[in-house]
Each structure stands twice: as C-alpha cells, then as structure tokens.
Amino acid sequence: MASILITCLLLMFIAYFEPTLPATVIEDLANLHPPSNFNTTIVSNCLKNPSLRYCGSSPMDLDAIFKFTIVASHLCNESKNPNCVESFPKINLRNRPKITPLYLSFTFFWKYCPVTILSIDLSNNSLKGTFPIDVLFCTQIHVLDLSHNGLSGDVPIQRLSCVTNLTILNLSYNHFSEIKISDSWFFRRFNSSCFFNSGILPSHGRYKIKAVMLLLGFPLVVVFTVGGLWWLCFRRPDFLPRVLQNERKFTTVMLKAATNRFSKKNMVGKGDGFVMYRGILRDGTQVRIEIYSNNRGNHREYVEECKVLVQLRHRNLVKVYGWCSNRNIRALVTEWIGRVSIETWLSESAPCWKHRYKVLVGVLKAMCYLHEQWPEIGCDIKTSSLLLHENGDPLIARFRVGENSTSNKIHRFGILVLEMMTDQTLQEEFKGDETGFVEYVKMLYPRKLQKVLDERMKLTENTFDETRQTICIGLTCADHQTCQQLSIGQIYNMIIKVHPRTNTY
C-alpha cells in the first residue's frame, strides 16, 4: 500500500493509491497517515518539479501536504478525469450540490492547487455566501464556471486580475453586487454573456425601472422646478434674492400674506371705492395697503400711474412703496403712518391753534411740491384722508394721477382751512352741505367770527387775529369765483405771512 502511494505521488504528486474499496474523502482524511519516508518523497518531487505549490513553503507542513494528496485524489476521481494516476486537468463538480461545499471547505487543498488543473466547473450547486475565493489559488486555470448558484457579495476583481490565463469565466445566475464602472477592464476581458443575470450588471428589469423612473422623474423634476420658479416669480417674489426682486411690484399672494389673508383685524379704514389694510411685509416693514374696487382704470394705466407715484418725495407726502395690479386687484402699498387722521386728531386731541396752523402749512407745502414738480398728480386733502405723523407733521396719503384742476385743489384747501378751525358741532350741522357751510362762515366773518371758531384752540388776542386772517384765506380759497384767480404759490405766501416764524419749523 505504502509503495503504491509513493509511486503515485512520484508520478502525479497527488494520486496516492488505487483504492480497492471505495472510501469517502472524510474517512480517508481521518484514517490514513503519511508513510515514514513521506518527507523524502516530497523533497524529491520538489526537486523534479519545483513549480508544485507545496514546494514553496518552508518548513513544509507534511501533514497538510499529505491531506492535500488525499483530497486531490478523490476530487480527481469525482471530476471524472480519465486517468487520475497521470493527469488531473479539470475539476468538474457541476450539478453536485451535495459534495461541492465539502471540497470547497478544504482550504489546504486549494492552497496547494495542482498546477495541471486548467478548468474548474462548480456550476449549479446552490452555493451560498460569498465568492469561493480559495478557488483563485489555482492561478493557472483557463476556465471557471460558477454559474447557477446563489453567490452574493463582491466579485474579487483584483484577485481575478491575477488569473491571467482565464479566458472563460461564467458568473451567470448569481446575486453578486454591481461592479463599478471604474473596473471596466473586467468588462473588456469578459463580455456580458459571462454575467447574464449575475447581479454584476444592472439587470434588464432594474434597468427598465431606472428608465421608467427617469422618464417619470425627469418631467416631474421639470414640472416642480418650473412650478417653483413660477410661484417665486409670480406669487412670492419677496422670497427671491433682493437683486432679482422688483421691489415696487407686489402680488396678491404677497399682500394676502402681509395682511393675514385680508383679515378684519388688519382692516384700518374704508372709503368710497377703497379699503385700507395694515400689513407687515416679509422683511418686517409695516405698510398701509389700499385696495381699490375696480375704478382705477385698466392695468396699464394703473401701473403707469403707480410708477409716477413711487417717485414722489416730500416730507408731507406718504411714501409710496409700490403697487399690485392684476385681474383681481388694484392696490397701492405705502409707508405705514399710524392710524391717526387729521379728523380724529381734531376731535380727540383738541389741538391748539399753533399746531393747526403748522398742519395747514405742511399740507400747503406738499401741494406746492406736487403742483410744481408733478402737476398731473391730484391729492385728497379731506381731514379724513390726511394723516398725522408722530412728529406732528401732516401727511397727504391719497393721490391720483389726472382729473385735476388747480382751482379745484385751491377750493378743497379752503374747505380744509375752514374745517380745521371751526366748531365741530357746526360742521356736523352742515354735513353734506358744503356750500351752506361756507356761506354761513362767510356771513359771520369777520365780526361774529368768534361764534364759529373752535373754542378749544384757546385763542389769545394775538392769535385771534391770526385765525381771522387764516379764515379769510380759507374763505377766499373756498369761493368758487376767487379760487380761479389764485395760484397755490400765492396762497402759500399769504399763509406764511400770518405767522412767519412758524414757517421755519
């Protein structure tokens, strides 16, 4: 027995005996022991053929080498090689799921992989787990078939690159991880028929899903981007960077956001054809928003009008920030100057004569500015529309481009003068009858003037004379005939003569 073994080892380095009774590889590994001169045999083998893998190691693990010869012998026979005494060219474990995992577990065998083996076929064995990397100790092979298994994880690309003579590789029908495009040499060397359904290449199905996702996703991305841009540009431009904003143009959505959807709480006034709201813009600025019912002309006219209004700059004119104009809404956005109108101020604060005079001068100054620089702009100088700034200055808050005659403006100013100086109960009596009111004051002027003046002005002898002069100016302006012969400048000169020092405030 021992001599046969040695002979075989000498001949083939692997096939160590011709068994008379078939035994399993496990039995042989358990029962057989190396002959006493095994070391000599190995050494002489290595001398003859140094390429044998077990020759490289030193000191040689005789026990492992002996076991290797046992496994090699069995595996050669299992692989149906025609003559295991002389050659072992292929490992063929195709369709052998029962024994293949066992042979794969003999790491000592693969480490010393016989150099004669050129082909390894492990296909269709329901192998699980990662790539059987030990197989790649057989760096000389030309063929490796691992198809039809359940292998997963990464394909050891680097190790495979060392198997230089490998020309036929079959990894089809496994569950490997996708290989990165950067390892493209791999795909040049082995074409797609080697990886069919292996997981290495994105499968057709997955490719389809990706294509479908792309087909659906791209339009969705486009739709959302366009939608988002549309929303930003046409609805909430205040969310755009400041450079891209047209700070003069407001949108309905912006106004809604500023006024909490035009809530009642934010409504601060209502008049003939307009509603006023207090609002807070995104940057925290408080504004007054005047919304008109549709009597402000068409969109183009209105925008042109607003473009003029935003250019107004005067201490006694409310600053116009911008406008909103579209199919549903016409609005003007101006600075927020509290809620105190001259009307409420007069009735609630009972201001002194000097302050009333200062307000009249302020209004007239703004009127002069408009008349000289923006003759096309008219303004509303009713006590209910004029606002009072915290610093005591009056502010004209409502304007309108066009329909505007100087004499009419002067007439309105005359009425304002009379309203600001006369008793409130008297005004109430003549409510709606302006002409009657003017006529009545005219009738009592000058001797019985005391009767109509607002007592709360607390006049002295000096100041009474000032009020008399002012009422005179007021009556002159309010008169439909005389007002046509006056200019705003003339009235201004008349007014400041009443109390020249006040003009320097």
Q: Which residues are catalytic?
A: 380
Toward ligand NAG, which CB reaches closer, 35 or 297? 35
Smallest separation (angstroms) from ligand NAG to the CB of 39: 4
Smallest separation (angstroms) from ligand NAG to the CB of 58: 12
Stretch that binds ligand NAG, among 130-138, 193-201, 216-224, 427-435 (CB under 6 A): 193-201
3-state SS track over 119-180: EEECCCCCCCCECCHHHHHCCCCCEEECCCCCCEECCCHHHHHHCCCCCEEECCCCEECCCC
Tokens 């004669």 correspond to 116
Smallest separation (angstroms) from ligand NAG to the CB of 189: 10
- Alpha-carbon gap, residue 236 to 451, rounded angstroms: 57
Tell me if 164 contacts ligand NAG by CB under 6 A.
Answer: yes
Is 17 buried (19+), middle (13-18) or exposed (0-12) by CB count in 10 A? buried
- Alpha-carbon gap, residue 423 to 145, rounded angstroms: 112
Cβ proximity of 485 and 479 under 8 Å: no
Q: Give the total of residues touching ligand NAG (CB under 6 A).
A: 24
The helix/strand/coil state of 23 is coil
Stretch that binds ligand NAG, among 165-173, 259-267, 392-400, 449-457 (CB under 6 A): 165-173
Smallest separation (angstroms) from ligand NAG to the CB of 125: 8
Toward ligand NAG, which CB reaches closer, 194 or 332? 194
Tell me if 87 contacts ligand NAG by CB under 6 A.
Answer: no
Tell me if 74 contacts ligand NAG by CB under 6 A.
Answer: yes
Residue 206, phi then psi, degrees to nearest 5: -65, -35
Toward ligand NAG, which CB reaches closer, 15 or 473? 15
Closest to 322 measured CA to CA, from 332, 308, 336, 337: 332
Q: Of these, 1, 4, 10, 19, which contacts ligand NAG (CB under 6 A)?
A: 19
Amino acid identity for residue 242 in this structure: R
Q: Of these, 7, 44, 77, 407, which contacts ligand NAG (CB under 6 A)?
A: 77
Toward ligand NAG, which CB reaches closer, 105 or 161? 161
Stretch that binds ligand NAG, among 160-168, 176-184, 407-415, 458-466 (CB under 6 A): 160-168
- Alpha-carbon gap, residue 78 to 91, rounded angstroms: 8
Beta pairing partners, 280: 286
- Strand ranges inside 161-266, DSSP E: 168-170, 175-176
Q: Of these, 53, 67, 90, 148, which contacts ligand NAG (CB under 6 A)?
A: 148
Residues that bind ligand NAG in the complex, under the rule CB under 6 A:
19, 22, 39-40, 43, 74, 77, 80, 95, 124, 139-140, 147-148, 164-165, 168, 170, 172, 191-194, 196
